Structure 1
Amino acid sequence: MPEVIFSGPAGRLEGRYHPAKTRRAPIALILHPHPQFGGTMNNQIVYNLYYAFLNRGFSVLRFNFRGVGRSQGAFDHGSGELSDAASALDWAQSLNPDARACWIAGVSFGAWIGMQLLMRRPEVEGFISIAPPANRFDFSFLAPCPSSGLFVHGDQDRVAPMKDVQILIEKLKTQRGIVIDQAVIPGANHFFENRVDELLVEVNTYLDKRLGPVAEKTAPAAQLPAPDGEDAA
């Protein structure tokens, strides 16, 4: 899991990048939770999403938004972080000019940033949105949503209540040309405490459906890091 530093709009950005073993492999970009509430690229869910795509032959990048870890700059309320994500995808694509497609996965605040990015990048063919804070941030830009994808949230989420996410999902499901899948994790809060395994089952089941089953896993569960501090969004 090589450490990387690449240029962003506010200075260097710190990341972890793993190239695919085959040419024309797709790219996956993983976006972490809110920087002001403990979110980093080492968040447990982010880490697992990273390996979910790596195990399917993607070139995968996760990184710290500006002001987090060794990434330069300061929190910019979403605008700068969207620019960071665009720069990260540009960097990954520069290393993989023949990549046939791209996926974006985000957790909470990262889900909001990721959905904005996919609106700007027609090469994004799929997304995974974990606990999107539909009550805290405006998702009306998804008109229409250009890609099919998966939303996952917990039925005990008090930070981003399920009713608000449900309204967003029902609106997207009316759009033609895409398919929106949804998974609700019983008993899960916004941080999926004690429910990460159930979350990963849903994510991997969806990726199996879209991309095919995993032939060989790269990272055993024993290598999982401790979760980050709780993020509010």
Structure 2
Amino acid sequence: GYSFGAWVNALGLDRFEEAKRLIMVSPPVNFIDFDFLKYSSKIKLVISGSADEIGGYRKIAEMLPKWNPEAMFRVIRGADHFYGGKTKEIQAIIEEFLDNN
């Protein structure tokens, strides 16, 4: 899920057994409370931009060990919350992850 969608997917993570993996792109941790989210082995990949003011990568880095310390975390340099000109980088990260996991 991307942004608010990452939050919605995180809310339902334990309710949907068929969901095997969660990829979150810019979870909006600077604006929406993610304290409800505890450890889940389903959280596999989190992506943020280094200039993302809504899904701040520093705050995500602090929270990720609680969510899943084994999850991959990728920060796209220079990307803000809307990833202008950076969508190919997101695509490449997700494709590589899906190809290898």
Q: TM-score, normalised by structure 2?
A: 0.89
1:168 aligns with 2:59: no
Q: What's the offset of the Cα at 1:137?
A: 1.3
- State the match for 1:203 in structure 2: 94
Larger fraction in strand: 1
Aligned to 1:159, which of 50, 54, 57?
A: 54
User: How many residues are paired up?
Assistant: 101
- Paired letter, 1:191: F
Unaligned runs of at least 5 residues, structure 2: none
Q: What's the offset of the Cα at 1:160?
A: 2.2
- State the match for 2:22 in structure 1: 127
Going from structure 1 to structure 2, the CA distance change for 1:147 and 1:118 (only over 3 Å counts) comes to same
Native 8 Å contact 1:119 1:146 kept in 2: no
- How far, CA to CA, are the matches of 1:119 and 1:140 in structure 2? 15
Structure exhibiting the larger radius of gyration computed from Cα positions = 1
Alignment of structure 1 residues 182-201 onto 2, 5 Å: 182-201=73-92
- Paired letter, 2:5: G
Query: Structure 1 runs of 4+ off > 2 angstroms?
Result: 170-174
Going from structure 1 to structure 2, the CA distance change for 1:148 and 1:161 (only over 3 Å counts) comes to closer
Unaligned runs of at least 5 residues, structure 1: 1-105, 211-233
- How far, CA to CA, are the matches of 1:138 and 1:115 in structure 2? 11
1:118 aligns with 2:9: no
Native 8 Å contact 1:157 1:188 kept in 2: yes
Q: What's the offset of the Cα at 1:190?
A: 0.4
Q: What's the offset of the Cα at 1:163?
A: 1.5
Alignment of structure 1 residues 1-233 onto 2, 5 Å: 106-174=1-69, 179-210=70-101
- How far, CA to CA, are the matches of 1:161 and 1:173 in structure 2? 18
Q: TM-score, normalised by structure 1?
A: 0.41
Native 8 Å contact 1:135 1:165 kept in 2: no
| RMSD after superposition | 1.4
